[in-house]
């Protein structure tokens, strides 16, 4: 049987964000197999987070990020259940990571459900026309359109974008991780991105 060392526990904590006792128990359960222990803790954390998803989030912060050039800024509202969690360094770091994502990748919506039906319909029509113009067979066009719509969602929906600091995670998964680690439901309510010289959609 593998001896579980403090260094192994520390490494697993760094990978998963789980508590030391959970890490030690997982390593013991899987006889020191770091990969299996990490996967187990990840699934356990996601299950915990899913249970919290319906809980009200009436606390939180408004976070501001200003790029060093002073030509780009982001404001966002990140909510949680208590002001205790809202004031933790981890929650504030999460808000800043999300703001950096918005500054760099310029999403248009928080979640897929926020996209107006007319925008979705226009995008689907565009991708269908494009596929047909490329000579794709009619019977596979719908499948091609769905694949391209997935890419469209990744481009415009914040929660579906790969995280710029770790593209193995989406922003939605990053928030889910934080829910598991902080023990409270967390929701991103809204954001705004401002860039000098950017056209205002209300301008003629």
Q: Residue 170's domain spans which residues?
A: 59-111+157-195
Whether residue 72 is found in the same domain as residue 128: no
DSSP 183: S
User: Residue 31: inside a domain, yes or no?
Assistant: yes
- Residue 54 is predicted with a pLDDT of 67
Whether residue 66 is found in the same domain as residue 85: yes
Q: List the pLDDT tens digit at each of the 204 positions of the chain.
A: 788 898 898 888 877 767 778 888 889 999 999 999 888 877 777 666 666 666 778 899 999 999 999 999 999 999 999 999 999 999 999 999 999 999 999 999 999 999 999 999 999 999 989 888 888 888 888 889 888 999 999 999 999 999 999 988 899 989 988 888 888 899 999 999 999 987 665 444
User: Residue 200: inside a domain, yes or no?
Assistant: no
Whether residue 105 is found in the same domain as residue 31: no
Cβ-contact 123, 152 below 8 angstroms = yes
- What's the first-to-final CA gap in the chain, in angstroms? 72
Whether residue 107 is found in the same domain as residue 165: yes
Whether residue 47 is found in the same domain as residue 69: no
Whether residue 79 is found in the same domain as residue 168: yes
The structural domain count of the chain equals: 3
Directed axis angle between helix 20-29 and helix 6-16, to 10°?
A: 110
- Residue 87 is predicted with a pLDDT of 94
Q: Give 133-176 pLDDT, tens digit per residue.
A: 888 888 888 889 888 999 999 999 999 999 999 988 899 989 98
């Amino acid at each position: 049987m593998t001896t579980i060392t403090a260094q192994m526990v520390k490494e697993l904590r760094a990978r998963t964000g789980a508590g030391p006792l959970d890490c030690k128990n997982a390593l013991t359960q899987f006889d020191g197999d770091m990969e299996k222990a990490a996967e187990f803790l990840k699934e356990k954390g996601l299950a915990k987070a899913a249970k919290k998803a319906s809980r009200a989030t009436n606390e939180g912060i408004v976070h501001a990020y200003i790029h060093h050039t002073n030509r780009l800024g982001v404001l966002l509202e990140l909510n949680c259940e208590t002001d205790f969690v809202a004031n933790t360094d981890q929650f504030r770091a999460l808000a800043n990571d999300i703001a950096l994502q918005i500054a760099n990748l310029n999403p248009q919506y928080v979640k897929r459900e926020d996209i107006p039906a007319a925008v979705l319909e226009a995008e689907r029509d565009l991708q269908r026309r494009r596929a047909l113009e490329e000579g794709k067979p009619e019977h596979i066009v719908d499948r091609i359109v769905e694949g391209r719509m997935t890419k469209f969602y990744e481009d415009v929906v914040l929660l579906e974008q790969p995280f710029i600091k770790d593209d193995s995670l989406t922003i939605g998964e990053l928030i889910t991780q934080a829910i598991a680690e902080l023990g409270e439901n967390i929701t991103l309510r809204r954001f705004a991105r401002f860039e000098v010289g950017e056209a205002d959609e209300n301008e003629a």
